[in-house]
Amino acid sequence: MRGKSEYWNPGYGAPIAEEHLRDADPEFQKEVMKEWFLSKYENPVEHTPYESAEGGYIYLWGGPFDAGDVLGDEFGGIVSDETIEECVQELEDEQACVEWARIPSEEGYDESLLGIISQNLDFYVTFADSINNIRALLNQNLGVRLDQILYRLLFVNVISTLEAYLSDAFMNTILPNPQILRKFVETNRDFSRRKLTLTEIFSRADQLTDEVKEYLIGLHYHNLAKIKEMYKATLDVEFLDDGDLFKAIVVRHDLVHRNGKTKDGSEIALTKDEVLKLVGRVETFVKHINEQLSLNAEF
């Protein structure tokens, strides 16, 4: 069934009526279809959770979706089948994607992500499984060029695995415990800056847990200086002082945001040994935290 969407072309300053779209040339039609499709669907790498133990993406909002089916349902009868097929091929080539995820609303994404985190009570087991999978992948021999791509991906994934542990462990420790939750609010600098009027006292108290959840979901857990302070103030958990790990996070930033180049444009070349050393550092770092959390849980 066709949707009730408004159609747009990036170079056209007003909504496009169905009749106008039907009479437009194929290139214009493809631009409209791309604009519509990419406002609703995306490559799952963008926001869809990935569970290495399960072997793939977890499509929380339905899917995976086929662009041909989606565009056919929406534009069939308006645009020719041939033009739709061309648009699908261009989308897949441009976005490097053949199986698509629905773009969630911000609220829906946060709620679903929180659901995943709250269910992961075995956060250390999840971490260890991910690390084992990274080690297994490092044993693959793909040739010099592909090996370098693999090392970059796994280097980034090691840091992502660390972030996931820090997030899951902290949230699952403080949210179910009102005393620890209160300590977090009382010691967190960001919360101390939030204003509160007398008329808001009771309503804010009722919404406090949700406010903390929203704050924690929005944190960047690779910002170890900030997360270290939070763990110490709330849980009395100390982080190891590992300067090399902090440097690795800078490298991770360049791999993700600079396409593998440093600020001065130098190419980052990684070796298998460098990735393995990072795996070892992160393992030691997380074990140190987890041992403290386990001891604290006994009291």
Q: Which two tokens stand for residue 129?
A: 């499984």
The Cα–Cα gap between 253 and 250 comes to 5
Which segments within the chain are labelled E, that is strand?
Answer: 41-42, 50-51, 56-57, 101-102
The Cα–Cα gap between 243 and 250 comes to 11
Using CA of residue 83, residue 38, residue 155, residue 294, what is the dihedral sign?
negative
Q: Which two tokens stand for residue 191?
A: 């919360």
Choose between 78 and 220: higher pLDDT: 78
Per-residue pLDDT, 81: 94
- The amino acid present at 42, given as its one-letter code, is E
pLDDT exceeds 90 at position 275: yes
- pLDDT tens for 98-144 read 999 888 655 544 454 455 444 545 788 888 988 998 999 988 887 77
Question: Mean per-residue pLDDT for 276-295?
Answer: 92
CA-based max dimension of the chain: 73
The Cα–Cα gap between 32 and 26 comes to 10
| Cis geometry, peptide bond prior to residue 64 (ω within 30 degrees of 0) | yes
The DSSP line for 91-114 is HHHHHT-SSBEEPPPHHHHHHHHH
Q: Please state the φ and ψ torsions of residue 105, each to the nearest 5 degrees.
A: -70, 155
Per-residue pLDDT, 145: 77
Other Cβ atoms within 10 Å of 72 Cβ, number = 16
Pair 44, 99: CB distance under 8 Å: yes
Question: Mean per-residue pLDDT for 40-68?
Answer: 77
Q: What pTM does this model have?
A: 0.58
The Cα–Cα gap between 232 and 187 comes to 10
The Cα–Cα gap between 290 and 284 comes to 10
DSSP state of 261: B
